[in-house]
Amino acid sequence: MRQWRVGTFSMGIILIALGIILIISMVGGNDIASNLLKWWPIILIILGLEILTYLFLSKEDGPVIKYDVFSIVLIIFIFIFSTLVYTLTTIGIVPKLTEMVSSRNYMVEMNRQEVQVDSEVKKIVLESPRYNVQIKSGEENRVILWGQGEVYTLSKDMADDIINKSELVTNQVGDTLYVSFNEMAGMTDFNGGVSFFSYTLCLPSNVDVEINRGRGYRPQIDIDAGIIDGKWAIDTQGRIIVRTTNQLDLSIEALVNGRDWLRGNANWQTEKSDTHNQVLGELQFGNGTNRLTIFSGEVEVLHVN
């Protein structure tokens, strides 16, 4: 008569159960399979019932239990694996990994936003955004924003929702309008989000402008210098591109960490600054009536005759 080894029957039941779970996951989705895997303690109950059944059916006095070592080792492995999966699922890692694997990049465009600028406003203070921004001349007494980029997420609808959570935040104090961005979530190792984005910001050309780094972001700022009418100041420590033409009436001063930080095809006039061994670069177009002062960062002037 064949010897019954404890573990063989349990292993058979477990393999059947795992097969059923895999079939259900293919038909009904991963959520059902994940819920079924939470019932892994049944493995211990099945193995315990098998031992009790063997003892009950044995006709020997003081029966010696013989085990199927391979099956027991495999059951232990399944137990450890199931415990690990359950733990990772409970703390949210497995769902995050599943989301990352199922996600992909979607190209999206942000809805156009407009903010009316009061006629009393003489200066705009802009807090630099997290992502690159191109600044152009727009309509009088209006701030206009739009943009496009890529979002890594599960669906196009989710990508649109993430992008359109970004909006301009304005606050007027006296004759100064403060403008900042309600930022979008960026992509991280375990979270989807914006992988690349570029804003286009149109400002009125009849006001002074100050751009600062606010929350520490260092985006690339690309400026059409034709918009500058008055005094502009930029302090962001990021890359700054200024596009100029011969028709401008503009002077540019840039205080940077070295001559190599002054780039482009313009003929920079430089001198050593007394401030922390920095270099002061100067350019003038026309009479230099309007003024752009840059306090830090890498400055590139692209001049078109």
Bridge partners of residue 187, in order along the sequence: none
pLDDT at 1: 46
Q: Is 176 helix (H, G, I), strand (E, B) or coil?
A: strand
Write the pLDDT tens digit of every residue in 18-39: 777 667 666 665 565 566 566 6
Q: Which carries the bigger pLDDT value, residue 40 or residue 207?
A: 207
Alpha-carbon Rg of the chain, whole angstroms?
A: 33
Range name among 38-47, 130-139, 163-172, 227-236 with the lowest pLDDT average = 38-47
Instruction: Indicate the pTM of the whole model.
Output: 0.68
Tell me the C-alpha distance between 18 and 77, whole Å. 13
Cα Dmax for the chain:
112
Give the number of other Cβ atoms within 10 Å of residue 293's Cβ: 15
* Residue pair 128/221 in contact by the 8 Å Cβ criterion: yes
Label each residue of 249-288 as H, E or C: CEEEEEEECCHHHEEECCCCEEEECCCCCCEEEEEEECCC
DSSP category for residue 299: E
Sequence spans of domains, the chain: 8-100, 105-304
Token output for 16: 């059947």
The CA distance from 297 to 260, in Å, is 11
DSSP secondary structure letter of residue 4: P
Average pLDDT, whole number, for the chain? 81
Task: Identify which of 255, 300, 298, 305 has the alpha carbon closest to the alpha carbon of residue 280.
Answer: 255
Strand partners, 264: 301
Per-residue b or e along 83-93, where b marks 16 or more CB atoms closer than 10 Å to that residue's CB: eebbeebeeee
Mean pLDDT of 278-296: 92
Instruction: Encode pLDDT of 38-64 as tens digits.
Output: 666 676 777 777 777 777 776 666 666
Query: What are the E-state strand segments in the chain?
Result: 104-116, 123-127, 132-137, 142-153, 167-173, 176-182, 193-203, 208-212, 221-224, 231-235, 239-245, 250-256, 262-264, 269-272, 279-285, 290-294, 298-304
The answer to whether 177 and 124 are in contact (CB under 8 A) is yes
Structure-block tokens of residue 80:
């450890």
Q: Rounded distance, CA 269 to CA 235, Å? A: 20
Distance (Å, whole) CA 175 – CA 286:
29
Ranges 69-83, 190-204, 221-235, 252-266: which has the least confidence? 69-83
Determine which of 84-98, 245-259, 267-281 has the lowest per-residue pLDDT on average. 84-98
Separation of alpha carbons 264 and 40, rounded Å: 65
Rounded Cα distance between 141 and 210, Å, is: 17
